[in-house]
Structure 1
Amino acid sequence: MVVCNAPDAETAERIATTLVAEQLAACVNILSPCRSVYRWQGAVERAEEIPLLIKTRADAYPQLEARLAALHPYQVPEIVALPLTQGLPSYLTWVSDSVVSRGE
């Protein structure tokens, strides 16, 4: 599972559609806007962002990370991978079958 925040709904939709169409993700959940507070270039910043939950396979992560970074407008986008330790076997099989690793 990869977590990423997009700056707006249009960007979130574009990223989600591209990742699924290119089979780098089985599914991307576009969540409701959230308020982020963070330090950037020495100042405390605030922004409304759209969280994305991206379902992929570990072996496809390098390609997904590269593509996500290329699609994202932020200079340093949040791209964080979280390991899944358990899940409904049929769902995890579907995720695995829906993602294509290109072995790059």
Structure 2
Amino acid sequence: MVPGHSLCDMVLHGTVDGRRCLFTGDSVFVCGQVLIQSLHDVSIHPYACAMGKLAALEVDALFPGHGVFCLEKGGVHVQTAAAKFASGLIPPQLYYFA
């Protein structure tokens, strides 16, 4: 579970065909974007802490819940979001227009 986006947002990390994959749901997206909503169970501090833990994982491919995915150097996107949080800033927001 990755608290922050919501209390129950789930992230899966594993190996598929030799690639270390991270399925992030709504926790982190390409370019280090995140999704922070005005909901009762959203909290910045736990989100930032969780992002730091995710950034420490070895990740080749990143599969977010929305938008494009990344098959190489996927961890860079997670590290970008974690670095923003660590510096006291909020990473860029995912803007999704349907």
TM-score (norm 2): 0.31
- Whichever structure has more strand as a proportion of its residues is 1
Higher RCO structure, 1 or 2 (CA under 8 Å, sep 6+):
1
